[in-house]
Structure 1
């Protein structure tokens, strides 16, 4: 934990605040970054399991030139390492329970330490914080600028999780589910086409051990129970941006860039400069 304090304190921030709590009215008080402005942004992505935090955070990571750090990936790496935490983590993950603050902070500390050694600055955090205690720890040591809360109806989340597949060779994520959900309670209908693998990956796909209906529902229950206080924690600070995904990546990605006041082509040209 001491390493997390040291490393997070060493990063610098640029001011960027969102005061809205809905994507439809989200506005930013600053202009887009100038081409020479450093990208040490510090953002957090919240959202239920399966909502697509990793997908959108990784796209923004490539666009903005800052590392995407997913605590779920850190847990899975530790599971596959046969290290001292592997057995304990396996039992927790397979039951759909939350990994303890102590373990998550330990894994995050090691990841940040490695990033610092490689000259990384800034981050997009995915999967942390998941409890108010974690949010308070993070708040004590760094200035999180923006918290993006991605949202989808529960039925869509379950379908997405059950359709997830990973290629054992390239480690890329795909989804075989074809989702067509009718709108409810004033929400529009949602359609998501499958994200199918290329031919070379078809025979190498596997399903995560925790992507079963029982485990997914338990993970969603626990997440919803824990997430409300975390959302309120950041909402009270004026940092929470709630974004209802309108569909799959083709529909959602440009709208997310719009509410973040980002231009994909401009940012790519800036990163290459």
Structure 2
């Protein structure tokens, strides 16, 4: 995919204190010209898939998650299907080479169809993956979603799945008061409809011990990747100030898209 105009030349940061920025926003650009090639990073459970998919809907670009690419290949009769099936059945990790192969094909197919960009969700996760990705396509911006660890743990422990329809919900009602100069944070639960309420189940790995270990491993892996993109001047660190109602408008503001959604709504 052809390289696009660089949208960011420095790291910027959005504070969750008093809803103000600590650094300048991204340069303002006509939304119609935004051919984004972005990456969304963040701890498990932070909501990167939710925010990435919302932005994709807003900007008219595809939301690409490498896990989805693997599942799609497994369900197909493609050249890697048998190899992936063997790897998954043995409980092994899918190699970087296979992931990049699937991603390269997806990006090439998108370019052939006239897609104007993409948002990658949760990839790359290692320096090696980031370096390989740089040889495949140009990444213009890396959005690193962050949230307080105590809030993230409570959020992960509140996750529920309807055993019948497979929809994800969250029963955690988070309301932590600010103290010692740190702001408070509130997140309303995402409750299921009545017909799903009695069918909720908890993921086997959503225990406090497992969640904390998952976060520890992620931090070890993610810090070098964050530094890699920070050194390239592409990293935007965004601290979530609350749930979607509080965070979404501030994320749009950080991306200089805060005047875009109303126009889109009027046009619709």
Please give the TM-score of this superposition, normalised by the length of structure 1.
Answer: 0.79
> 2:263 — aligned with what?
266
| Residue 220 of structure 1 pairs with residue 215 of structure 2 | yes
Q: How many residues align?
A: 256
Match of 1:179 in 2: 174
8 Å Cα contact 2:42/2:48 also seen in 1: yes
**Does the Cα contact within 8 Å between 1:18 and 1:28 map onto a contact in 2?**
no
Q: Match for residue 244 of structure 1?
A: 239
* Cα distance in 1 between the residues matched to 2:165 and 2:108: 26
Whole-angstrom CA distance in 2 between matches of 1:15 and 1:28: 14
Q: SS at the partner of 1:241?
A: strand
Shift of 1:159: 1.6
Q: Where is the helix percentage greater, Structure 1 or Structure 2? A: 1
Note closer, same or farther for the CA distance 1:29–1:218 as it changes in structure 2 (3 Å cut): closer
Give the counterpart of 2:148 among 127, 143, 153. Answer: 153
Specify the alignment match of 1:85 in structure 2. Answer: 84
- Separation (CA, whole Å) in 2 of partners of 1:179 and 1:26: 28
Residues 125-148 of structure 1, C-alpha deviation per residue, up to 9 Å, x if partnerless?
Answer: 111010011111112222211111
Which has the higher Rg, Structure 1 or Structure 2? 2
Superposed, 1:1-273 pairs within 5 Å as 10-23=1-14, 24-28=21-25, 30-34=27-31, 36-37=32-33, 39-75=34-70, 84-86=83-85, 88-89=87-88, 100-109=95-104, 111-112=106-107, 115-116=110-111, 118-167=113-162, 172-183=167-178, 186-203=181-198, 205-262=200-257, 263=259, 264-268=261-265
Unaligned runs of 5+ in 1: 1-9
| TM-score, normalization by structure 2 | 0.80
Cα RMSD, aligned residues only: 3.1
Q: Is the 8 A contact 1:49 1:220 kept in 2?
A: yes
Gaps of 5+ in 2: 15-20
Cα distance in 1 for residues equivalent to 2:164 and 2:237 = 35
Do the aligned residues in 2 keep the contact of 1:26 with 1:259 (CA within 8 Å)? no
Q: Write the distance in 2 (CA, Å) between the matches of 1:90 and 1:267.
A: 45
* Distance of aligned partners of 1:248 and 1:29 in 2 relative to their CA distance in 1, 3 Å threshold: closer
